[in-house]
Amino acid sequence: MNVNSKRIGIVGARGHTGTELIRLIAAHPALELAFVSSRELDGQRVDAHVAEYRGELRYSAPAHEALPQLGADVVVLALPNGKAAACVEAFDKAGVDPVIVDLSADYRFDERWYYGLPELTRDAWRGERRISNPGCYATAMQLSIAPLKDLLAAPPVCFGVSGYSGAGTTPSDKNDPEKLRDNLMPYALTGHMHEKEASRHLGVPVEFMPHVAPHFRGLTVTSNLYLARKMTHEEVMQRFHGAYDREPLVNVQDEAPWVSRVAHRHHAEIGGFAVAADGKRVVIVATLDNLLKGAATQAMQNINRAIGVAETIAIPLL
């Protein structure tokens, strides 16, 4: 560990995203794992579950009140929705102020927390130490809509399909491979949390219809945008290239992206760009790996910014 390294802890490391985070941290020159908490894996070696990690660390199960004493400069909360506040309160009561990155939805509507979708909120960064990581679907929707937001004539309508890893590790119909076999499972067709999240941070109402598919990882969002004025295909492409060509983790392409091609990769792909004959309707397709750019990779972007290193350190690029 070099003199400028930071110690990082993960609370709730058993899940899919926690595992991906450990892989990224293992390759990071300025981060060292301080602790990884998991009640189910308590006492087991981390390297027995994540081959990329090299070290003697074992999973532990500290009480919330003990977290501030574990010496982490950065803490990632990889917990189910509704569970983050108790951990945050423990740090506040102890007067300990690490960088905290919350992966749940708990603080995505709290103006006291920085909402970390770097490609869209980087200019709002003011050195905050409390960072709310965006949702996977919400990331894809916002990246798809933002370049044309000023021209919308109606709420965007987004159709989403995700692999079942997005449903987490707690058994349910939405992550049961047998029930998903040869199936497409719709759920939360109005009022989904990511619908509310995208609407809030874009500043325009967004309509979203999510589905779960039989594949494990990766998601696709197809967005239908009605425009207030005519646009050509070339004008639409110019908007998206202008927005994202300097972004290393967003790839704009002419053809519609395939979810199979973005699985296990750290960037989002946006393409399709079908313009209706009247020029006032555009359909856009976005794909990303829900566990990476939709969660762990985006968290690493935010962590890197918070500790003062290049945003893409330890993140494999295109």
The string of pLDDT tens digits covering residues 28-80 is 999 999 999 999 999 999 999 999 999 999 999 999 999 999 999 999 999 99
Write the CATH number for 90.
Answer: 3.40.50.720
Q: Are residues 298 and 201 in the same domain?
A: no
For residue 152, is it within any domain? yes
Share of the chain above pLDDT 70, in %: 98
Of 34, 136, 198, 284, catalytic: 136
Q: Are residues 149 and 102 in the same domain?
A: no
Mean pLDDT of the chain: 95
pLDDT of residue 1: 46
Q: The domain containing residue 163 runs over which residues?
A: 136-290
Q: Are residues 111 and 175 in the same domain?
A: no
Q: Are residues 144 and 276 in the same domain?
A: yes
Q: Are residues 272 and 252 in contact, defined by beta-carbon separation less than 8 angstroms?
A: no
Q: Mind listing the pLDDT tens digit for each residue in 254-272?
A: 999 999 999 999 999 999 9
54-68, 156-170, 220-234, 264-278, range with the lowest pLDDT: 156-170
The two most distant CA atoms of the chain are separated, in Å, by 63
Number of domains in the chain: 2
Contacts of 160 (CB under 8 A, 6+ apart): 137, 140, 141, 208, 209, 210, 211, 219, 220, 221, 222
What does the pLDDT average to over 187-213?
97
pLDDT of residue 96: 97
Is the pLDDT score of 19 beyond 50? Answer: yes
pTM greater than 0.85: yes
Active site residue 87: no
Q: Are residues 21 and 121 in the same domain?
A: yes
Q: Are residues 142 and 275 in the same domain?
A: yes
CA dihedral 273, 276, 281, 282 (to 10 degrees): 0
CA dihedral 258, 263, 266, 269 (to 10 degrees): 10
For residue 227, is it within any domain? yes
Q: Are residues 64 and 30 in the same domain?
A: yes
For residue 317, is it within any domain? no
Q: Are residues 73 and 198 in the same domain?
A: no
What does the pLDDT average to over 193-209?
98
